[in-house]
Amino acid sequence: MTSSAAAAASSASASASAAPSPESTRSFQGFRDLRLIGRQVRFEQLSFWLNPFGALFTIVFSVLFLVLLSSTAGSQNISYYAGIKATQYYVPSFIAYGIMSSCFNIQAITLVNRREMGLLKRLRLSPLPTPLLMAAIFISSMIVAAIGVILLFLIGKIAYGVHGPASTLAVVVTTLVGMLAFTGLAVGMSTVVPNADAAGPMVSLTFFLLVAFSGLYFPIQPGSTLSNIADIFPVRHMISGMNTAFNAPPGSSPWPWHDYLVLLAWGVVGSFLALRRWSWSPRRG
């Protein structure tokens, strides 16, 4: 520590005294708070892209798998999906995967790690209001998901010449519904994970198992036993919902209302769990 720093320190502390009264400091401050959210989203994005793990699992994995599967099995036709080419199925499926990976898998693990490292507690004790912080965290993971959606769509279009989407609006709505549902589930899941060591295995194992038997890597015949089991869980509905929005044949509806319903119900379950069990302090269970 130097004397110049000490002098600067005294001048800074002197400037803090003129201040509003406790009562006039509102908890929501309009434009200033919107700017705060924007600023926090920027820092959340910085944190995400500086950590190779998150980017690897969401963006790189989905692109890699899409390219791998489309290059090997992409030209086969799927009889129970109106005979469409497998690539035509994989593109919306991996778009769904990108959304789930970013909003659920990475988000849940990050929340547990932040809680266990005391980062949530520290932010809770800063003047950044909690709703603003949570909004910024959610928006940031949605941005990552959106980047994945656009990237996979472009790769599908340019490299594999996929058609569609059947309804752009339905794809956008399905994306938003998925983001909301899996964000709710991520926060709920994070409250069930007892410590940082368990976060990766618990969250990712659940996620990758569900993804595998919900038809990401190989399409599942509707009505099969596997399909009936997978139908209980939200991952299957995210994949099939995105496929409906993307690949609905002319004359049939591109709106997967039933999938939305199941997704949102799971989102509500996750949010309910989150509200009941949320903790700002490390659990270290």
Partner 1 sequence: MPAVSVRHLAKSYGDKTAVRDVSFEVEKGEVFALLGPNGAGKTTTIEILEGFRDRSGGDVTTLGVDPANRSTQRWLRNRIGVVLQELAVEPYYSVRQVLSRNAGYYPSPRPVDEVIELIGLKEKADERVKKLSGGQQRRLDVGLGIIGNPELLFLDEPTTGLDPSGRRDSWDLIRQLSADGTTVMLTTHYMDEVEALADRVAVLNNQEIVAMGTPSSIGGRDSSEVTIRFLLPPGLDAVDVPVPVQASDDGSVEIRTSDELRVLHTLTGWALEKELTLVGLSVLRASLEDTYLALTRETS
Binding residues for partner 1 (CB under 8 A): 1-2, 4-6, 8-10, 12-13, 15-16, 19-23, 25-27, 36, 39-40, 43, 46-47, 50-51, 117-119, 121-122, 124-129, 280, 282
Assigned token pair, 27: 């908890």
Query: Toward partner 1, which CB reaches closer, 120 or 210?
Result: 120
Q: Is the peptide bond before 165 cis (omega within 30 degrees of 0)?
A: yes
Q: How far is the CB of 127 from partner 1 (least distance, A)?
A: 4
The 3-state secondary structure of the chain, one letter per residue: CCHHHHHHHHHHHHCCCCCCCHHHCCCCCCHHHHHHHHHHHHHHHHHHHHCHHHHHHHHHHHHHHHHHHHHHHCCCEEHHHCCEEHHHHHHHHHHHHHHHHHHHHHHHHHHHHHHHCCHHHHHHCCCCCHHHHHHHHHHHHHHHHHHHHHHHHHHHHHHHCCCCCCCHHHHHHHHHHHHHHHHHHHHHHHHHCCCHHHHHHHHHHHHHHHHHHCCCCCCCCCCCHHHHHHCCCHHHHHHHHHHHHHHCCCCCCCCCHHHHHHHHHHHHHHHHHHHHHCCCCCCCC
Query: Toward partner 1, which CB reaches closer, 37 or 67?
Result: 37
Q: How far is the CB of 121 from partner 1 (least distance, A)?
A: 6
Q: How far is the CB of 159 from partner 1 (least distance, A)?
A: 32
Query: Toward partner 1, which CB reaches closer, 119 or 269?
Result: 119
Query: Toward partner 1, which CB reaches closer, 31 or 257?
Result: 31
Q: How far is the CB of 105 from partner 1 (least distance, A)?
A: 18
Assigned token pair, 20: 């509003």
| Cα torsion 187, 189, 195, 197: sign | negative
Query: Toward partner 1, which CB reaches closer, 5 or 158?
Result: 5
Query: Toward partner 1, which CB reaches closer, 22 or 223?
Result: 22
Q: How far is the CB of 203 from partner 1 (least distance, A)?
A: 19
Query: Toward partner 1, which CB reaches closer, 141 or 175?
Result: 141
196 and 182 Cβ atoms separated by less than 8 Å: no
Q: How far apart are CA 260 and CA 242, in angstroms?
A: 10
Q: How far is the CB of 64 from partner 1 (least distance, A)?
A: 23
Query: Toward partner 1, which CB reaches closer, 200 or 282?
Result: 282
Q: How far is the CB of 193 from partner 1 (least distance, A)?
A: 19
Q: How far is the CB of 39 from partner 1 (least distance, A)?
A: 5
